[in-house]
Structure formats: C-alpha cells, structure tokens
Amino acid sequence: MMGDDLLLRRRGGVLFLVLSAVLVLLGGGADAGVTSSYRRKLEATVEMPLDADVFRVPPGYNAPQQVHITLGDQEGTAMTVSWVTASELGNSTVKFGEKPDPEKMERRAEGTHTRYDYFNYTSGFIHHCTLKHLKHSTKYYYAMGFGHTVRTFSFTTPPKPGPDVPFKFGLIGDLGQTFDSNITLSHYDDNGGDAVLYVGDLSYADNHPLHDNNRWDTWGRFMERNAAYQPWIWTAGNHELDFAPELGETTPFKPYTHRYPTPYLSSGSTEPFWYSVKLASAHVVVLSSYSAYGKYTPQWTWLQAELQRVDRTTTPWLVVLMHSPWYNSNNYHYMEGETMRVQFEKWLVDARADVVLAGHVHSYERSHRVSNVAYDIVNGEATPVRDAGAPVYVTIGDGGNIEGVADNFTRPQPSYSAFREASFGHATLEIKNRTHAYYSWHRNHDGAKVVADGVWLTNRAQSYAVFFLDRTKTSSMAIDHQP
Ligand SMILES: *[C@@H]1O[C@H](CO)[C@@H](O)[C@H](O)[C@H]1NC(C)=O
Ligand SMILES: *[C@@H]1O[C@H](CO)[C@@H](O)[C@H](O)[C@H]1NC(C)=O
Ligand SMILES: *[C@@H]1O[C@H](CO)[C@@H](O)[C@H](O)[C@H]1NC(C)=O
Ligand SMILES: *[C@@H]1O[C@H](CO)[C@@H](O)[C@H](O)[C@H]1NC(C)=O
Ligand SMILES: *[C@@H]1O[C@H](CO)[C@@H](O)[C@H](O)[C@H]1NC(C)=O
Ligand SMILES: [Fe+2]
C-alpha cells in the first residue's frame, strides 16, 4: 500500500511532534502516489432499457413519481419535496408529521408547480413544496398525491449544526442511468449515509437524440429509492446545461432548474447554481463550474462574502463542491478546471477548506494536501507544492454513466496525486467530531463495504488552532493518515 500520508512541509528543519500516535511517521513524507492497477471490466457501459425495473411508473392514476428531496433552507429545518404527476396537475399539497399514516399527519404545506417544453417534449407537472419549521434530528413522514393516488415517504432532518455532530455523507458524481449507475446507487444504499453531496452530471439525457427529456424522467424514477428519503445536495454539471441552439434551446440549465431546486436564497445567493448549506459539523459550499466566476461576477462576489460567513467554531468542516476538478491527472477533461482554480484556489487555501469534491472525470482520484497559489506572472512558481494548510482534492465522477470510464491517466503520476484508479464507485465522508473524519472510496467491483482507498482526515481549522499558531513558520503535525 501507499506510504503514510504524512503531510510535512519542512521549513527550516524544525519539526514539532505533537501526536505520539503518529511517531511512526517520522522520516516519512516523501510518499509517491499510487496508480491502482486494478482492472475494471472491459465491456461498454450500457444504459438501462426503458422497461427496466428501476424506471417503472408507480401504480395508481396520476401517482406522484420521481420523488426527491433537498434542503429547503441553509440549516436543515426545512425540506423541499419535488415530484412529477404525468396525467394531470393533481394536488400540490404535502401532508407531513411524525406518524406514518397520512390521515394522522397533523401538518400540511402548499406546493407550487411548473412545466417546461424542450424541443418537441413537454414535461409532466413538476411539483415543489417546502416543508418548514421542522425539528432537527427528527423522522418525518410525508405524503402527496391527494385526490388521486397518495404515496408516503419519510426522511430524518439533519442534526442542528454544531462542532461535534457525527454525520455521514455519500459522495456521488456523474451517475447517469446505466447498469453500472444502478450498482453505484445500490452500493451507496447498502453503505447508508445521511445525505448525498452530488457533484453534478445527473441524467445524461443530453447524450440521447434531441436531448430526449424522457431520460430526465427515467432518471428521476431511478433515483427515487434513495433521493426521496434523504436530501441530495445538487451541483450543476455540464450535462445540466442542455444548451442546444441547433434545437432552438438556448436557455442553459432549463430541465435542471425546473426539476432540481436548491435552497440558494437562504445563503444569500442570487442563482441556484452556487449556494451553501450547513449539515451537522460541516459547512458545504457549492460552486458552479458553468457560471461566470471571474472577478466582480455574482458568483465571485458571493463566494468572497460567503467564506467570511463560515464559522468554524460551529461548523469546523469546510467542504466545497464543484463539477470540474482543479487537480485532475487524467487526460480526460485535462486542465478544464484550471481557470476556476486560478480564480479561487487561494481563497480556499486561506480559508483552510478541508476537502474539495469534484466530478466530471469518470474515474477516481484523491490528492495529497497541495496548493499552487504562489504564481504571480513574474516569479515562475507555478508548481503544486505540498501544503498542510490546503484541502484534499477528490474527483468522484465515477458514478458509472453512459460515457464509460476515463481510463487514460497522465504518466508519470504527478506528485500531488495520492491515489487514482479508473473504476466506477462512490465514496463516503464520515465526520466523527471537530477534529476527525473518515473518508473512504468504494469501487463497484468489490462489495459495498470494501474500502479501496481510505484516509482519516484531520480538520484544517481545528488542527491549526490547536497545534500551530503560525503555519508559515512550522511544519504541520496536523496529520492525515491511512487506517
Ligand atoms: C438495480 O438495482 C436494484 C437493487 O440492487 C435491483 O433490485 C434491480 O433489479 C436493478 N435493476 C437493474 C435494471 O439492474
Ligand atoms: C420528437 O421528434 C422526434 C424526431 O422527429 C420523434 O422521433 C419523436 O417521436 C417526437 N416526439 C414527440 C413527443 O412528438
Ligand atoms: C389537496 O389535498 C388536500 C389534502 O387532502 C386538501 O385539503 C386540499 O383541499 C386539496 N387541494 C385541492 C386544490 O384540491
Ligand atoms: C491518452 O491521452 C493522450 C493525451 O491526450 C493521447 O495522446 C492518447 O492517445 C490517449 N490514449 C488513449 C488510449 O486514448
Ligand atoms: C474524535 O474522533 C476520533 C476518531 O473517532 C477519536 O479518535 C478522537 O478521540 C475524537 N476526539 C474527541 C475529542 O472525542
Ligand atoms: Fe461532466
């Protein structure tokens, strides 16, 4: 296996040893990255057929379908429920409460509905209803479809944000709707998380002729078994653009924005594509690779202010989501994230972000803690360096979509890359308390619980707060390590 993931930056040779448990790591620090030689199956990635079991329309006249939930506010005391009715508008009310019987659900909320046309496709009636004033850490049942076919689901609200609140995230990206996608989702179902951080590219409907939007509907039905029961935090990917002037479709993100709302208003954002939520001990910032991020743009202005609002004493973990990765050593989509990295990386390093998650590249990669923020046009310092204050970068675009696996890594493996493998899978991030989180990647060709790449992450803000008063003078003992 790989060497211990000791993240040393030796300056002046002074090394403060604080954690006795990691004495073994002394002398390490020059660990080479691993390119896993694990061979995935070589068959093509195949879309599940329209009559696949996972795409079945629920029985009953005008039954609610494609049910999914996301946070309805920044802190998890509201939940937005979305669903589609196909035959007629039906009823947009959601009843909810702590009892499973819809007759006994004491509360109700009125939803809204929308529809859209895309070339010659017309969507069903898309309902969105936000359930407000929920208690934290509480199981709620909810039901909709009154007057036609009532369906009942449940979710547990996230705990109140605080520094030592355990929480388990599922990390999934670029899922699509192939047989491999179904394995990814099944493995995540088996591993069981509390909420999903989804890094973009949802249905891949746009890979079908005319961007066949029926594939947005099949994806919604496929996802329901998980997304109706726990919040998915959405990031926009390039496959959400559906920008097709040749079809007369010139409004970017049209299907996505009609179907997948985000709670962007409650974090002071002006567009649904960038926003933040607080889940347990994590402050999660979602960015958009496909919206303007240059200086003075709305996203740039929002992120600058947002990073000031992050309160690491309440939410010690700062997790950032985007679609196009900044540190990607795969020849697919090589350097596509570069302009955004140049724009924002220093901010995330200065903010001591813990983890940056991206998708887009259909394989798996995890970086060491690195930064590349010294370059100023004249000094020539444009190489990533180990930086114990910087985030770990994870590319988790390996959900299994129709485009297949990205099996062409650059060689040699760059020194910033800790582990990479061209397989499908998903990851989880289990926050234990303010200092420790366990990150693990699960490839689809193993059992769901097998850890193909795992690392204990120590919190950047906490580690420095506790051990280092001046990170420019000391080497880091804020150590991540392999289990
Ligand atoms: C998808 O996975 C589920 C759960 O493992 C299984 O019941 C179902 O048959 C699968 N469907 C397809 C088309 O692979
Ligand atoms: C949309 O146009 C395509 C190509 O002409 C055709 O195959 C399809 O049946 C049409 N769909 C609808 C809903 O008219
Ligand atoms: C929708 O269903 C609820 C619950 O049964 C009912 O109170 C409400 O009147 C219905 N709304 C409409 C517009 O029919
Ligand atoms: C891998 O990527 C390199 C660089 O883009 C390219 O030259 C090469 O042909 C690719 N190999 C395969 C097998 O696609
Ligand atoms: C935080 O969690 C880690 C991992 O479970 C554990 O080793 C450590 O003792 C915990 N810290 C506190 C203060 O409980
Ligand atoms: Fe993508």
The total number of structural domains that make up the chain: 1
Question: Which atom number of ligand 5 is nearest to the Cα of residue 438?
Answer: 4
Q: Is residue 231 part of a domain?
A: no
Distance 410 CA to ligand 4 centre (A): 9
Task: Look at residues 434, 451, 429, 433 and name the one whose alpha carbon lies nearest to residue 442.
Answer: 451
Ligand 5 nearest atom to the CA of residue 456, by list position: 4
Q: Nearest-CA neighbor of 458 among 427, 435, 425, 433?
A: 435
Hey, whose CA ends up nearest to atom 3 of ligand 5? Answer: 436
pTM above 0.85, yes or no: yes
Which residues lie closer than 8 Å to 65 by C-beta, 6 or more apart? Answer: 57, 58, 83, 84, 85, 86, 124, 217, 220, 221, 224
Per the residue annotation, which of 333, 362, 442, 481 is the catalytic one?
Answer: 333
Instruction: Specify the DSSP element, H or E, that contains 346.
Output: helix 338-350
The secondary structure of residue 147, as a DSSP letter, is: T
- 432 vs 163: CA distance, rounded Å: 10
Give the position, in ligand 3's atom list, of the atom nearest the Cα of 146: 2
Pick the ligand that lies closest to the CA of residue 481.
Answer: 5
**321 occurs within a structural domain:** yes
CB distance 432 to ligand 5 below 6 Å = yes
- 3-state helix, strand, coil split of the chain in percent (to 5) is 20, 25, 55
Structural domain includes residue 56 = no
How far is the CA of 315 from the CAs of 65, 167, 299, 380, in angstroms? Answer: 35, 12, 22, 37
Ligand 1 touching residue 465 (CB < 6 A): no
CATH number for the domain spanning 389: value is 3.60.21.10
Alpha carbons 143 and 128: distance in angstroms, whole number = 13
- For residue 333, indicate whether it is catalytic: yes
**Residue 356: inside a domain:** yes
Kindly state if the Cβ of 181 falls inside 6 Å of ligand 1.
no
Q: What is the pLDDT along the chain (483 residues), one digit of tens a residue?
A: 333 222 322 222 223 333 333 322 333 334 578 998 776 666 789 999 999 999 999 999 999 999 999 999 999 999 999 999 999 999 999 999 999 999 999 999 999 999 999 999 999 999 999 999 999 999 999 999 999 999 999 999 999 999 999 999 999 999 999 999 999 999 999 999 999 999 999 999 999 999 999 999 999 999 999 999 999 999 999 999 999 999 999 999 999 999 999 999 999 999 999 999 999 999 999 999 999 999 999 999 999 999 999 999 999 999 999 999 999 999 999 999 999 999 999 999 999 999 999 999 999 999 999 999 999 999 999 999 999 999 999 999 999 999 999 999 999 999 999 999 999 999 999 999 999 999 999 999 999 999 999 999 999 997 654 444 333 433 343 467 765
Domain that holds residue 355: 164-200+273-469
**Which residue has its alpha carbon closest to ligand 4 atom 2?**
331
Domain membership flag for residue 123: no
DSSP 32: P
Identify whether 24 is part of a domain. no
Best CA proximity match to 171, nearest among 441, 452, 421: 441
In a domain? residue 223:
no
Alpha-carbon torsion (465, 469, 471, 477), positive or negative: negative
- Does any domain span residue 121? no
